[in-house]
C-alpha cells in the first residue's frame, strides 16, 4: 500500500527513474539477493516501505514472524543501500514504537520512555531496531538515513483480509459483506473505546517526498492527521459510507490494544506539510477502490 502510493506520487511528479521490484522479482529477506540488486543498480535515494504488517490479531499471534521478517528486510535494505553508496534513505517506522501509555498527542521524544503495547511488541521492537540502525549509520558513517513514524494508514492496495488486516479495511469489508448478504448484524472486535488516528496513504506519500527533499536529520518525525476517533465512531462512519444500516455487535473476546495513539505532528507541520484528505472522503475513495478491485460480487 505504501510503496504503490509513493510510486504513484513520484510518477505524478514526473520521475521516470523509479526502481521497483515486487515480491516475485526480489525476496527482501534474502541477504545476498538484496545485496546483488543494490550492487547491480545502485540507487540515489532509497525508501524502506516494505515490511510484514498487519492488524492487532496477527501481530499478537505471530510475534516470531513479525520480528524475524521485519529485521531481515530492513537490515538487508539499509545495509545494502549504504554499501551501494545511496545518498539518502528514508525508513518507515510506525506509531506503535511508542510506549503504551505515552503522553497524548505523542511527541517524538516519547520513544523508549516506557513499556510497549504487548499485542504489537514484536513489530514495534523490529521497527525501533530499524530506527536505531539508521541513526547508527548517520552517527558512525555520516549517512543521511532518516526515519518517519506514520500513524495508522489506509487507502488503495490495503489488505482487506478479515483475520490479518487493520481495523479500517476490515470494517469496510465486513460492512460491505453484511449489506450485500442482507444481514442485520456486524461484528466489531473489542469494546469500541480505543481511539485511533487514520491517515490516507496518499497524504503519507506527500509527507515522505517533502522529507526526502527538505529533511536530513536522523531524529525521527511523526506523520499523522492530528485528530483521532474511537473505534465505535469509525465503525459508524464506515457503515454510513457503505450504506449498512444494521446493528453493531461487540466481540469482547478480541483485544482492544493500546487505548490511544494520537501523534504530535508539530514537527512535520513546521515544514509546511498538512494532510489534505478528510477521513470520510478517504474512506469513500477507499471503498470505491475496494469495489473495483477486491469485492466479490
Ligand atoms: O487496526 P488494528 O488491528 O490495530 O485495531 P492497532 C485497532 C482497533 O480496532 C483495536 C479494533 O482496538 C481492535 O480491537 N477492531 C474492531 C478491529 N474490529 C476490528 C476488526 O474487524 N479488525 C481489526 N483488525 N481490528 C496495529 C498494530 O495496532 O497498528 C500494528 O498491531 C501497526 O503493529 C498498526 O502498528 C498501525 O491500531 O491496535
Instruction: Answer for the pair 146, 209: CB distance below 8 angstroms, yes or no.
Output: no
- Is there a contact between 168 and 230 (Cβ–Cβ < 8 Å)? no
pLDDT for res 51: 97
Atom from ligand 1 closest to the CA of residue 194: 12
Q: Tell me the domains of the chain and their CATH numbers.
A: 2-158+197-228+260-278 (3.40.50.720)
Q: Is residue 151 in contact with ligand 1, taking CB distance under 6 Å?
A: no
- Determine the Cα–Cα distance for residues 120 and 57; give it in Å rounded to an integer: 9
Of the residues 123, 137, 215, 287, only one is catalytic, namely 123
Choose which residue among 1, 159, 192, 257 to substitute to test ligand 1 binding: the one with the highest number of ligand atoms within 8 A of its C-beta. 257
Mean pLDDT over all residues of the chain? 97
Ligand 1 midpoint to CA 149 (Å): 17
E strand spans, 185-263: 185-189, 195-196, 198-200, 221-223, 229-230, 247-251
Gap between the Cα atoms of 295 and 135, Å rounded: 42
CA 52 to chain centre: 10
Q: Contact at 8 Å (CB) between 218 and 145?
A: yes
Band the pLDDT of 14: cuts 50, 70, 90.
very high
Tell me the three state secondary structure of residue 127.
Answer: helix
DSSP states along 2-27: HHHHHHHHHHHTT--------TTT--
Which mutation among 52, 93, 166, 255 tests ligand 1's pocket best, with the greatest number of atoms within 8 A of CB? 166
Distance between CA atoms of 97 and 110, rounded to whole angstroms?
9
Measure the CA–CA gap between 295 and 293, rounded to whole angstroms: 6
Angle in degrees, CA 133, 98, 93, rounded to 5: 45
DSSP for 105-116? SBPGGGTTSSPP
Q: How many CB atoms lie within 10 A of CB 95?
A: 24
* Residue 73 in contact with ligand 1 by CB distance below 6 A: no
* pTM greater than 0.95 (yes/no): yes
pLDDT in tens, 209-249: 999 999 999 999 999 999 999 999 999 999 999 999 999 99
What's the grid cell of residue 90? Answer: 528514508
Is 123 annotated in the active site?
yes
Q: Which atom of ligand 1 is nearest to the CA of 94?
A: 35
Does 297 have pLDDT greater than 80? no
- Ligand 1 geometric centre to CA of 194 (Å): 9
Amino acid at each position: 500500500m505504501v510503496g504503490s502510493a509513493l510510486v504513484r506520487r513520484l510518477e505524478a511528479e514526473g520521475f521516470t527513474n523509479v526502481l521497483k521490484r515486487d515480491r516475485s522479482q526480489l525476496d527482501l529477506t534474502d541477504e545476498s539477493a538484496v545485496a546483488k540488486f543494490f550492487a547491480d543498480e545502485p540507487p540515489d535515494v532509497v525508501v524502506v516501505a516494505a515490511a510484514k504488517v498487519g492488524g492487532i490479531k496477527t501481530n499478537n499471534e505471530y510475534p516470531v514472524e513479525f520480528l524475524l521478517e521485519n529485521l531481515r528486510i530492513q537490515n538487508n535494505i539499509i545495509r545494502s543501500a549504504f554499501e551501494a553508496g545511496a545518498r539518502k534513505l528514508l525508513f518507515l517506522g510506525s506509531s506503535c514504537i511508542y510506549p503504551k501509555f505515552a503522553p497524548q498527542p505523542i511527541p517524538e521524544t516519547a520513544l523508549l520512555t516506557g513499556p510497549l503495547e504487548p499485542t504489537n511488541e514484536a513489530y514495534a521492537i523490529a521497527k525501533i531496531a530499524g530506527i536505531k540502525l539508521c541513526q547508527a549509520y548517520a552517527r558512525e558513517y555520516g549517512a543521511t538515513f532518516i526515519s518517519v513514524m506514520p500513524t495508522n494508514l489506509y487507502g488503495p492496495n490495503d489488505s482487506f483480509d478479515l483475520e490479518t488486516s487493520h481495523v479500517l479495511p476490515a470494517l469496510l469489508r465486513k460492512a460491505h459483506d453484511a449489506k450485500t448478504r442482507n444481514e442485520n448484524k456486524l461484528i466489531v472486535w473489542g469494546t469500541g473505546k480505543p481511539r485511533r488516528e487514520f491517515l490516507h496513504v496518499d497524504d503519507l506519500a506527500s509527507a515522505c517526498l517533502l522529507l526526502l527533499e527538505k529533511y536530513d536529520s536522523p531524529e525521527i518525525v511523526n506523520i499523522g492527521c492530528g485528530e483521532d476517533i474511537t473505534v465505535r465512531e469509525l465503525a459508524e462512519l464506515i457503515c454510513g459510507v457503505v450504506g449498512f444500516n444494521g446493528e453493531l455487535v461487540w466481540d469482547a473476546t478480541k483485544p482492544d490494544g493500546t487505548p490511544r495513539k494520537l501523534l504530535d505532528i508539530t514537527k512535520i507541520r513546521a515544514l509546511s506539510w498538512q494532510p489534505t484528505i478528510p477521513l470520510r472522503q478517504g474512506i469513500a475513495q477507499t471503498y470505491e477502490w475496494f469495489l473495483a478491485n477486491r469485492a466479490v460480487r
